Structure 1
């Protein structure tokens, strides 16, 4: 239980959630992530270090650049489900319950 609470604690930061969303489908460099989340590369590196310690992201070095990717699909799913849960607090019938209606628009 304690480890699960630590995972939620690690994800309880908007910048880290944005980083995970950015890494959903792609491996990205620190500078590219910094551009996406609108933070400095130094700040993003600090968040990535925490995510790496928590084994949420993995890294590889290519020359002088470091690339990050999600370690597995679980963080992606946790963040997606958290966003879906948040939508429930905003709407009685959130959009994620109506994929057909979104496709028609």
Structure 2
């Protein structure tokens, strides 16, 4: 839970990954660069997402919700997913920067 007095802001985000290719893929890992409103950067990386390494069929999608905690009411996230195709060949999906903001902060 967020606590502005303790400089703790909790954000939830939902990601949908759509496989627009012709073969199944698997998400193996993630990397996030989280930047707070003062420019302080935190790197987060690990296997899978929310404890899973999902297989996403051709034409299918995978959705998950997770969270981030930063010290300011405004920040950003960006990163990438480490994936493999049906033949085991690795590739990366870039995640463009998106904003974390307390809803009442920005009109």
* Bin of the TM-score, shorter chain as denominator length: under 0.3
Higher helix share: 1
Higher relative contact order (CA 8 A, sep 6+): 2
Higher strand share: 2
The two structures have a TM-score, normalised by structure 2, of: 0.25
The two structures have a TM-score, normalised by structure 1, of: 0.25
